[in-house]
Structure 1
Amino acid sequence: MKKILFAASEGVPFIKTGGLADVVGSLPKYIDKEYFDVRVFIPKYTCMKQEMKDKLKYVTHFYMDFNWQNVYVGVLEAEEAGVHYYFIDNESYFGGFKPYGDDPRYEIEKYAYFCKAVLSALPLLNFQPDLIHCHDWQTGLIPVYLKERFHGGDFYRNMKSVITIHNLKFQGKWDVKTVQSITGLPEYYFTSDKLEAYKDANLLKGGIVFADAVTTVSDTYAEEIKTPFYGEGLDGLLRARSHDLRGIVNGIDYGEFNPETDKNIVKAYNAVNFRKEKVKNKHALQEELGLRVDDKKMMIGLVSRLTDQKGLDLIAYVMDELCQDDIQFVVLGTGEERYENMFRHFDWKYGDKVSANIYYSDALSHKIYAACDAYLMPSLFEPCGLSQLIALRYGTVPIVRETGGLKDTVQPYNEYESTGTGFSFTNYNAHEMLNTIRYAEHIYYDRKREWNKIVDRAMATDYSWKVSAGKYQEMYDWLIG
């Protein structure tokens, strides 16, 4: 039995701010328990929901030498959906009303502590992983520490590490002197072939340099990040490590996202009966949001963080033009103020066509996936993207820009061969996006049978975790040998 340890800064159902938590919470459930013993380490944040905190049991505590002092480390555990979770407890680091703070220096100290605490706790738990699977910059020091102070001990000697990049934009950077002092790493670790990048210490870079393998969350993103445009300053390093770099597309939890059993939606439906039943969800949503109730009107959805990365400047540029079309547009999410206000403005200007819901609601997101005819995702970059996978599952046709995971998971419609599961455009250009939306409108209104076949193919795709888990298992086998 091969032992795998996940280390991450968040994981469903305990704590979530984004897609990383979905991966950490879902992937271990689908790894084959016959061959792999997978456990997960995350911080115990005081902002976790009380019902989750109530599940945690005390295991042990100890004191560890960190940042020039002797620091408390508590370890708790819980079992969830057949997966064993451990939690590092230290209220001075993981207190507060949200998991991540706004002071980058303190964030680096907090996650450096987490990395060292995870490795230090393992012998006390009687769990000796063959491989530690690290996620994003917050765990970037684990591969470094494994090759440095933990390397001498028998317990750690053969441990391998892999780091998964969920979003290369976030790297954990601060000045070398401070990071050296916090981490206790010797000076020679802070050179340009190790942790130093552009005069700063960079925790993600450390993880990429010292891990035995590097993965990211789609094949296309794995290629893109070797180029200067997507590489966020680390493209040279990623080219150098290209033999050890692979893309594995994320899955979604097919139990949670299932139009046949979804408790949040008005009318359950499936691939066989969607032609009759799906529209009932549209009706209900039109009523709920105060849009004109009309079966025939094409409804486009967008559930997103409202940030530049998501291509919202393209939408802002052509929104007036788009609203001249015979469509309805439903938005859910929060983010940058200018985008929140932009959508509010269009909701005010075209009240019967646009519904801007500037907050977050899990229940409403499910209703939007089920009710809409199409789903818009014009991202500037998208390592994997989960929304388009959910949209496919619900038979809501994705309209995407060909980048990262969007390019890998949405096959563009070809009217001559009658293939494809969505619509896509190549360049980051507002009118190219608008033309693609209008092409989708044309198929929806004028060639309804073709549209329904696109929906058929979309609902037949399989982006469940089963497929991705198989690929991760292959990689674990390859690394552990």
Structure 2
Amino acid sequence: MAKKILFINQEISPYVPDSSLSLMGRNLPQFMQEKGYEIRTFMPKWGNINERRGQLHEVIRLSGMNLIIDDTDHPLIIKVASIQSSRIQVYFIDNDDYFTKRLMASDEKGEEYSDNGERAIFFARGVLETVKKLRWVPDIIHCQGWMSSVVPLYVKTAYHEEPSFANTKVVTSLFPKSLNKSIGDNFKRSLEFRDVKADLLGKYSDNFDFDELIKLAIDNSDGVIEVGDDVSADLADYAMRQNIPLLKNPGTDFVDSYEKFYNQICED
């Protein structure tokens, strides 16, 4: 039976401008689908996405849940579209406050949003709740981009007894640094959900920044992949010190290396 891979992406081309992250977000699911894997793909519905051009439409049966973050209700909206050239279906996590009315990590003036941490939490929980509703059980969850960095923690703690994720392996890709400021002074408090309590987060700085966020992802992943030559050596070394399998940057011809790594992770 073909393995099932859930790709949780920060960016996917053509919905946002081309970058190493958005191109990988588009190409990797396509390549794995062509190899016979069953895939699902998620990303945030950033405010700079043209819904009409991308032919996004809301999935009513999946929308409507409220996610409580830091004692505040936030409605979850799920939209879907297809990349025609690759026949890849993309699910979008949306919310008026966190995504629809805003750009990506930074506003029109280039200032990073002070609540980027809360946005990542909402995105993570929105994806996992939606996958549960789909009654789909991934063998592997592959997280790409800082926006997906909360997912590994929740899979291994808050959702570890859910049938959809009980036996799922998590892979995190390391990309070059893309956040410069902290992601909110209430991030730890906002993370608390089910089994995720403050004492689980004691090893991390109260001032969560990009590096702390990626360390959180690494600590809860079963494997880590370097993407590109300019990934932080400190973060790659951190993964190795935690004895987490690390795939060094395989370059442009990466598909076979990724597949081999997936199989290695699933066998461990």
Scaled by the length of structure 2, what TM-score is found? 0.84
Helix, strand or coil for the counterpart of 2:115?
helix
Opposite residue 471 of structure 1, the aligned amino acid is: S
Q: Which residue of 2 aligns with 1:281?
A: none
Residue 114 (structure 2) aligned to one of 93, 97, 105 = 105
1:84 aligns with 2:86: no
2:7, 2:143 within 8 Å by CA — same for their partners in 1? yes
Q: Aligned in 2, Cα 1:474/1:9: closer, same or farther, shift over 3 Å? A: same
Relative distance call for 1:242 and 1:169 in structure 2 (3 A) is farther
Q: Tell me the amino acid that sits aligned with residue 210 of structure 1.
A: N
- Supply the distance in 1 between the matched residues of 2:251 and 2:78 (Cα, whole angstroms): 29
**Structure holding more helix per residue:** 1
Alpha carbons of structure 1 residues 97 and 118: separation in structure 2 relative to 1, 3 Å: closer
Does the 8 A contact of 2:11 with 2:22 survive in 1? yes
Structure 2 counterpart of 1:179, from 187, 203, 206: 187
Q: Does 1:66 align with 2:85?
A: no
Residue of structure 1 equivalent to 2:255: 469
Matched, 1:217 2:3: no
The Cα offsets for residues 160-207 of structure 1, whole Å up to 9 and x where unpaired, read as 1110011146487446x6112211131112222xxx04x533221100
Distance in 2 (alpha carbons) for counterparts of 1:114 and 1:85:
14
Cα distance between partner residues in 2 of 1:169 and 1:98: 15
Q: Distance in 2 between matches of 1:39 and 1:172?
A: 31
> Taking CA–CA contacts closer than 8 Å with sequence separation of 6 or more, which of the two structures ends up with the larger relative contact order?
2
Q: Which residue of 2 aligns with 1:141?
A: 150
C-alpha separation in 1, matches of 2:8 and 2:31: 17
Alpha-carbon spacing, 1:172–1:7, altered in 2? closer, same or farther (3 Å): farther
Instruction: Please tell me whether the aligned partners of residues 57 and 78 of structure 1 are also in contact (alpha carbons under 8 angstroms).
Output: no
Structure 1 residues 28 and 235: CA distance shift in structure 2, 3 A: closer
State the 1:8 CA deviation.
1.6
Q: In the alignment, which of 181, 198, 207 is matched to residue 200 of structure 1?
A: 207
Instruction: Measure, in 1, the Cα distance between the counterparts of 2:181 and 2:39.
Output: 26
Measured in 2, the distance between the counterparts of 1:243 and 1:123 equals 27
1:119 aligns with 2:124: no
1:247-266 paired onto structure 2 within 5 Å: 247-249=248-250, 251=252
Q: Is the 8 A contact 2:226 2:236 kept in 1?
A: no
Q: Which residue of 2 aligns with 1:31?
A: 32
Give secondary structure in 2 for the equivalent of 1:31. Answer: helix
Q: Structure 2: how far apart are the matches of 1:165 and 1:96? A: 28
Tell me how far apart the structure 1 counterparts of residues 27 and 11 of structure 2 sit (CA, whole Å): 12
Does the 8 Å CA contact 1:164/1:215 hold for their aligned counterparts? yes
| 3-state SS, counterpart of residue 114 of structure 2 | helix
For residue 105 of structure 2, what is the amino acid of its counterpart? Y
After superposition, the C-alpha distances for 1:9-51 in whole angstroms (9 at most, x for unaligned) are: 2100112363200110112111254531122100112321244
**Structure 2: distance between partners of 1:110 and 1:149:** 18
- TM-score, normalised by the number of residues in structure 1: 0.48
| Partner amino acid, structure 1, of 2:190 | I
Question: Are 1:153 and 2:144 matched, yes or no?
Answer: no
Distance 1:250 1:137, change over 3 A: same
Structure 2 residue matching 1:133: 3-state secondary structure: strand
CA shift at 1:215, angstroms? Answer: 0.6
Mapped partners of 1:119, 1:32: distance in 2: 21
Task: Give the alignment of 1:64-463 within 5 angstroms.
Answer: 64-80=67-83, 81-96=86-101, 98-101=103-106, 102-168=111-177, 170=179, 173-174=182-183, 178-184=186-192, 185-192=196-203, 196-197=204-205, 199-201=206-208, 202-218=212-228, 225=233, 231=234, 234=235, 237-241=238-242, 244-249=245-250, 251=252
The offset of 1:64, in angstroms, is: 2.4
Q: In 2, Cα distance between the equivalents of 1:239 and 1:30?
A: 28
Alpha-carbon distance in 1 for matches of 2:87, 2:45: 19
Residue 8 in structure 1 maps to residue 9 in structure 2: yes
Q: What is the CA–CA distance in structure 1 between the aligned matches of 2:162 and 2:52, rounded to whole Å?
A: 39
1:15–1:21 Cα contact (<8 Å) kept: yes
In structure 2, what is the Cα distance between the partners aligned to 1:187 and 1:126? 30
Which structure 2 segments of 5+ residues have no match?
none
Is 1:248–1:472's contact at 8 Å kept on the other side of the alignment? no
Aligned partners of 1:171 and 1:205: how far apart in 2? 15
| Corresponding letter in the other structure for 2:6 | L
Q: Which amino acid aligns with 1:479?
A: I
Letter in 1 for 2:223: A
CA 57–68 in structure 1, closer or farther in 2 if over 3 Å, else same: closer
Residue deviations 1:320-373, cap 9 Å, x none? Answer: xxxxxxxxxxxxxxxxxxxxxxxxxxxxxxxxxxxxxxxxxxxxxxxxxxxxxx
Q: Which amino acid aligns with 2:202?
A: T
Change in CA separation of 1:50 and 1:150 when aligned onto 2, cut-off 3 Å: closer
Partners of 2:241 and 2:54 lie apart in 1 by 43
CA deviation after TM superposition for structure 1 residue 249, in Å = 3.6
SS for the counterpart of 1:200 is coil
Question: Which SS does the other structure have where 1:76 is aligned?
Answer: strand
